[in-house]
């Protein structure tokens, strides 16, 4: 059997060999290959690491001759000698796995120093202080990472020495003191390890290499791999490189630069450097580095060389580079290059610019921007560089951040909000009655309720930040206080909420503005070209619809008509309709509502001209439109106390109370709601259907193209769909013949209960489209209340790994997903052109979108503000 080749000089590898040489090694090899000034070095492969774990130290015995030969080549290239001679060769040893991986051994610098070589280095460089400083740094690093001696032992000695010298900084310690400290350091090593510090550079090298191999399997590294789903079978490479020094004098220096601005994406070299310094000094922040452009005046030739190299590297890797360099006696060396980390804003601009510069294609640009980054661009964010005082953590119910004064009452929120003040509405939980306060507030904070609670859904719809289910908060709305962890805030005090992370923060935290730039729009258009599943939006008002369209929605997948009845001018008419004791009374009220609905629909259909608009008929239980029983009783008591027993208001309230009692259910979510309302009170649905068609006919007469989809909620029985389809067709026929014109329309159903999914074939006989209402479908499949489960037990379930993901956030593939697949396949078998989408909150979740793509859905529908995230997610699902 031939031995594997375990050692590669930098000059032998290239960028494609990441698996074998690790990311760092492959990049160093590539740079050497294209002729860049990389200090000579070699890489022990990831296969060597894996063999070490199989065979143990014997592996090192076997490959050691190869290491010696490789070091001999470095000696020749640098004209220095390792561990002896007048001009000693020093090495750095660094780990480098195929994927970037914190948790492993990082770096040992200045390897090869001992009591003799340090003298040679001092003599040769003419800088004794530099030589001893390098030696003591080496002992510290080596002892810490290879020998396991805690660095605090050494740091304590340095602190004592500085005190004795009355100086504050390490660089003020002179050569003689370092020399004394080095002696002391060695004693510490002896005491702690019961062995001498290794003086033989070959032993140092062998131990350092072995330490890198071992660090592949430390508990930290293993945990990191498990969490990030990185294979244990990759192994890490070891890079051994000739040391170069940026701290030998004024013609030396070190720095870090990016080929484009990592925070804005702007083109041009961006970074900083320090004259006469080592890499650590830039990081340690003892001296303030200079902007990279100043290198242009201090070392113009080198600066030009750096610019040329940076641009060459960027063209080579076709991505923004993060480059480490050192200047040793007027010679530039590149120590590392990698793809630069960047903000969301920078990611978008760099990707689009690079397509326009011909560096990458559109697909690559789309791949480089994550849904997470898109999310960040659409909402104000807490500036991550500012320290914050977190009071409590709740659910990240609607992304973005908001700052405002605490207000407990929705009316007050409306009043103060409308007068231009920034307020945060703080409630136990919100109800449809609070909508005006929610609308006027900058954000919403609730102590109860989950990710699909009223506050969460409405806030997402409005694009406002919301933290829900923050159980740690004690809200006393009567006293006007909010307490948490022993601290109390009063009405009017300023809070910041971060709905992306679920944080409640004391005080006014600076926020970063969102950005829907031209580049961003361009990138999303490219994303659409990659995607198979389209993105529609959930929108209830013309303004929402217009916003959704601006964000790129290709239709409305859910218009929840009940939200239209919540407006202050409509609610009384709605109540009138509900408490009607005869059909005539109900029809009178419905006639008034029809006029209002027609106007609503006209606005939405106009805003979405040419695109489908899915209007869902009335869904919630009717009691939601009536005041709470206790409220009615309170008002009644007041009237009776005033002796107004027979007043018309009193009689009306009595009727309302009787109706509220009659409509009361122990389980309203499983009760008299959805299409059950339309079957029992057909006049309600008939009114809505008429309003839809009349508004469409009106617009069609104006030449506006309308595409109405009428959707029935909570269908679970074929007969429901059959009757409601017949109702729709009957009304269409009547109105179309009256108007002398017709519009094409579709009638379909939501799939929100397991039975609907299981009889999808029966439903598809009458339904022309399906839309998965995964909020209710999750609720009914698991038997978990969508309003309560999250903060009662679900969060703990996820923390305890009873469930892998919160099922109201990400589609449960095995259960809910299975029902979706059954419905999809059975529905399409009966009706091959059945349109199928999703309009539950999952429609905006990247992971769920990937699942919908896999199922083959036509569209996902989500709140307008999530449309861009969904567009990029749909593209990523297809790539």
Identity of the residue, 157 or 776, whose beta carbon is nearer to ligand PEP in the bound complex: 776
Shortest Cβ 753–ligand PEP spacing (Å): 10
Identity of the residue, 368 or 786, whose beta carbon is nearer to ligand PEP in the bound complex: 786
| Beta strand ranges found along 388-486 (DSSP E) | 390-393, 395-398, 401-407, 423-427, 443-446, 466-468, 474-476, 481-484
Identity of the residue, 117 or 538, whose beta carbon is nearer to ligand PEP in the bound complex: 538
Identity of the residue, 328 or 787, whose beta carbon is nearer to ligand PEP in the bound complex: 787
Partner that binds at residue 716, options ligand PEP, Mg ion, none, CB closer than 5 to 8 Å by kind: none
Shortest Cβ 772–ligand PEP spacing (Å): 7
Check: CB of residue 424 under 8 Å from CB of residue 505: no
What is the strand order of the sheet 253-260 is part of?
290-291, 267-275, 253-260, 321-328, 331-339
Distance (Å, whole) CA 585 – CA 575? 12
Which residues lie closer than 8 Å to 238 by C-beta, 6 or more apart? 43, 44, 48, 49, 93, 94, 95, 96, 209, 212, 213
Shortest Cβ 240–ligand PEP spacing (Å): 58
Window of 23-31, 73-81, 393-401, 767-775 that interacts with Mg ion by CB under 5 A: 767-775
Check: CB of residue 724 under 8 Å from CB of residue 685: yes
Known catalytic residues? 454, 839
3-state secondary structure of 650: helix
Identity of the residue, 752 or 812, whose beta carbon is nearer to ligand PEP in the bound complex: 752
Q: Are strands 474-476 and 253-260 parallel, antiparallel or unpaired?
A: unpaired
**CB burial class (10 A; 0-12, 13-18, 19+) of residue 219?**
exposed
Q: Are strands 487-490 and 88-89 parallel, antiparallel or unpaired?
A: unpaired
Which residues lie closer than 8 Å to 426 by C-beta, 6 or more apart? 406, 407, 408, 444, 445, 446, 473, 475, 482, 495
Identity of the residue, 621 or 868, whose beta carbon is nearer to Mg ion in the bound complex: 621
Partner that binds at residue 774, options ligand PEP, Mg ion, none, CB closer than 5 to 8 Å by kind: ligand PEP
Would you say the C-alpha torsion 454, 460, 462, 468 has a positive or negative sign? Answer: positive
Identity of the residue, 688 or 774, whose beta carbon is nearer to ligand PEP in the bound complex: 774
Window of 161-169, 312-320, 601-609, 752-760 that interacts with Mg ion by CB under 5 A: 752-760
Phi, psi of 426 (to 5 degrees): -115, 120
Distance (Å, whole) CA 71 – CA 523? 49
Identity of the residue, 112 or 843, whose beta carbon is nearer to ligand PEP in the bound complex: 843
Encoded tokens for 259: 């080929």
Distance (Å, whole) CA 83 – CA 70? 15
Shortest Cβ 672–ligand PEP spacing (Å): 15
Contact footprint for ligand PEP (CB under 6 A): 558, 560, 619, 752, 773-776, 839-840
Shortest Cβ 670–ligand PEP spacing (Å): 12
Task: Choose which of 253, 450, 773, 807 interacts with Mg ion (CB under 5 A).
Answer: 773
Identity of the residue, 81 or 775, whose beta carbon is nearer to ligand PEP in the bound complex: 775
Distance (Å, whole) CA 731 – CA 769? 19
Partner that binds at residue 146, options ligand PEP, Mg ion, none, CB closer than 5 to 8 Å by kind: none
Shortest Cβ 539–ligand PEP spacing (Å): 13
Shortest Cβ 837–ligand PEP spacing (Å): 11
Shortest Cβ 716–Mg ion spacing (Å): 12
Window of 69-77, 443-451, 750-758, 827-835 that interacts with Mg ion by CB under 5 A: 750-758
What is the strand order of the sheet 41-44 is part of?
7-9, 41-44, 237-242, 91-96, 107-111
Is 431 annotated for ligand binding? no
Is 774 annotated for ligand binding? yes
Partner that binds at residue 840, options ligand PEP, Mg ion, none, CB closer than 5 to 8 Å by kind: ligand PEP
- Nearest C-alpha neighbor of 438 from the set 385, 485, 486, 499: 499
Shortest Cβ 620–ligand PEP spacing (Å): 8
Residues in contact with Mg ion, total (CB under 5 A)?
3
Identity of the residue, 686 or 776, whose beta carbon is nearer to Mg ion in the bound complex: 776
Partner that binds at residue 274, options Mg ion, ligand PEP, none, CB closer than 5 to 8 Å by kind: none
Residue 445: left (phi > 0), alpha (psi -120 to 50), or beta?
beta
Window of 351-359, 443-451, 775-783, 798-806 that interacts with Mg ion by CB under 5 A: 775-783
Distance (Å, whole) CA 157 – CA 187? 12
Encoded tokens for 511: 């926020």
Task: Choose which of 686, 762, 776, 841 interacts with Mg ion (CB under 5 A).
Answer: 776
Distance (Å, whole) CA 307 – CA 295? 11
* Residues linked to residue 532 through DSSP beta bridges, in sequence order: none
Check: CB of residue 399 under 8 Å from CB of residue 563: no
Is 752 annotated for ligand binding? yes
Is 780 annotated for ligand binding? no
* Residues linked to residue 43 through DSSP beta bridges, in sequence order: 8, 239
3-state secondary structure of 579: helix
Encoded tokens for 588: 């009178």
Which residues lie closer than 8 Å to 567 by C-beta, 6 or more apart? none
Is 560 annotated for ligand binding? yes
Shortest Cβ 823–ligand PEP spacing (Å): 14
Distance (Å, whole) CA 554 – CA 659? 42
Distance (Å, whole) CA 493 – CA 347? 37
Identity of the residue, 295 or 816, whose beta carbon is nearer to Mg ion in the bound complex: 816
- Nearest C-alpha neighbor of 838 from the set 751, 756, 762, 720: 751
Residue 837 binds Mg ion, judged by CB under 5 A: no
Residues found near Mg ion in the complex (CB under 5 A): 752, 773, 776
Which residues make up each annotated binding site?
560, 616, 752, 773-776
> Which parts are annotated binding residues for substrate?
560, 616, 752, 773-776
Binding-site residue numbers for Mg(2+) are 752, 776
């Amino acid at each position: 059997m031939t031995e594997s080749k375990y050692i590669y000089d930098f000059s032998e590898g290239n960028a494609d060999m990441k698996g074998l040489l690790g990311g760092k090694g492959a990049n160093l090899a590539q740079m050497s290959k294209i002729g860049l000034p990389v200090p000579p070095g070699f890489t022990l492969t990831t296969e060597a690491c894996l063999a070490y774990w199989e065979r143990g130290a014997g592996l090192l015995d076997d490959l050691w001759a190869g290491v010696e030969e490789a070091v001999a080549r470095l000696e020749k290239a640098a004209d220095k000698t390792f561990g002896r001679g007048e001009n000693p060769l020093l090495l750095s040893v660094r780990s480098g796995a195929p994927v970037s991986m914190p948790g492993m051994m990082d770096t040992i610098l200045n390897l090869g120093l001992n009591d003799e070589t340090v003298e040679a280095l001092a003599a040769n460089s003419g800088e004794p202080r530099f030589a001893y400083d390098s030696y003591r740094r080496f002992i510290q690093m080596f002892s810490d990472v290879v020998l396991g001696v805690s660095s605090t032992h050494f740091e304590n000695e340095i602190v004592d020495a500085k005190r004795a010298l009355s100086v504050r900084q390490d660089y003020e310690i002179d050569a003689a003191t370092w020399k004394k400290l080095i002696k002391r350091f060695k004693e510490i090593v002896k005491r702690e390890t019961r062995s001498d510090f290794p003086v033989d550079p070959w032993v140092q090298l062998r131990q350092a290499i072995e330490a890198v191999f071992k660090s592949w399997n430390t508990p930290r590294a293993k945990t990191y791999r498990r969490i990030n789903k990185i294979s244990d079978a990759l192994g890490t490479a070891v890079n051994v490189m000739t040391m170069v020094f940026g701290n030998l004098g004024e013609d030396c220096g070190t720095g870090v630069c990016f080929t484009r601005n990592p925070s804005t994406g702007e083109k041009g070299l961006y970074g900083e450097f320090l004259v006469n310094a080592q890499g650590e000094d830039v990081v340690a922040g003892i001296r303030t580095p200079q902007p990279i452009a100043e290198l242009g005046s201090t070392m113009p030739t080198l600066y030009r060389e750096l610019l040329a190299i940076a641009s060459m590297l960027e063209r080579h890797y076709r991505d923004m580079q993060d480059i480490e360099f050192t200047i040793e006696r007027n010679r530039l060396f590149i120590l590392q290059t990698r793809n630069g980390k960047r903000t969301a804003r920078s990611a978008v601009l760099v990707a689009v610019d690079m397509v326009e510069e011909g560096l990458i294609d559109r697909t690559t640009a789309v791949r480089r921007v994550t849904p997470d980054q898109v999310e960040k661009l659409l909402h104000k964010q807490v500036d991550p560089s500012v320290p914050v005082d977190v009071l409590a953590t709740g659910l990240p119910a609607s992304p973005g951040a908001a700052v405002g004064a605490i207000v407990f009452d929705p009316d007050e929120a409306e009043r103060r909000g409308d007068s231009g003040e920034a307020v945060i509405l703080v409630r136990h939980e919100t109800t449809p009655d609070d909508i005006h306060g929610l609308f006027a507030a900058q954000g919403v904070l609730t102590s109860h309720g989950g990710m699909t609670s009223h506050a969460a859904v409405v806030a997402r719809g409005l694009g406002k930040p919301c933290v829900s289910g923050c159980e740690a908060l004690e809200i006393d709305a009567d006293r006007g206080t909010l307490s948490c962890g022993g601290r109390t805030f009063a009405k009017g005090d300023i809070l910041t909420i971060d709905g992306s992370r679920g944080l409640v923060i004391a005080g006014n935290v600076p926020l970063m503005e969102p950005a829907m730039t031209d580049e961003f729009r361009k990138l999303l258009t490219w994303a659409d070209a990659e995607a198979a599943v389209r993105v529609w939006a959930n929108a209830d008002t013309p303004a929402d619809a217009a916003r959704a369209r601006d964000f790129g929605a290709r239709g409305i997948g859910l218009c929840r008509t009940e939200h239209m009845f919540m407006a202050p001018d409509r609610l009384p008419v709605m109540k009138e309709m509900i408490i009607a004791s005869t059909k005539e009374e109900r029809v009178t009220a419905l006639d008034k509502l029809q006029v209002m609905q027609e106007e609503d629909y006209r606005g939405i259909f106009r805003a979405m001209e040419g695109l489908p608009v899915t209007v869902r008929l009335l869904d919630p239980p009717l009691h939601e439109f009536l005041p709470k029983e206790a409220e009615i009783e309170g008002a009644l008591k007041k009237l009776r106390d005033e002796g107004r027993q027979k007043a018309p208001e009193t009689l009306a309230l009595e009727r309302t109370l009787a109706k509220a009692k009659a409509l009361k259910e122990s389980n309203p979510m499983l009760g008299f709601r959805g299409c059950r309302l339309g079957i029992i009170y057909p006049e309600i649905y008939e009114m809505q259907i008429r309003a839809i068609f009349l508004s469409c006919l009106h617009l069609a007469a104006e030449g506006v193209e309308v595409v109405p989809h009428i959707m029935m909620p909570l269908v679970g029985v074929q007969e429901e769909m059959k009757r409601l389809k017949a109702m729709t067709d009957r009304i269409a026929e009547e109105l179309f013949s009256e108007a002398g014109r017709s519009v094409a329309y579709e009638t379909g159903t939501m799939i929100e209960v397991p039975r609907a999914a299981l009889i999808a074939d029966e439903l598809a006989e009458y339904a022309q489209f399906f839309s998965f209402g995964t909020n209710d479908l999750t609720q009914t499949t698991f038997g978990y209340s969508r309003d309560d489960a999250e903060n009662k037990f679900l969060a703990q379930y996820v923390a305890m790994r009873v469930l892998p993901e919160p099922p109201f956030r990400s589609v449960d593939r095995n259960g809910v997903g299975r029902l979706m697949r059954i419905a999809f396949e059975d529905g399409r078998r009966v009706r091959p052109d059945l349109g199928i989408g999703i309009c539950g909150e999952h429609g905006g979740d990247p992971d769920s979108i990937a699942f919908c793509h896999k199922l083959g859905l036509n569209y996902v529908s989500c709140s307008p503000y999530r449309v861009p995230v969904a567009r990029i997610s749909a593209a990523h699902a297809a790539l």
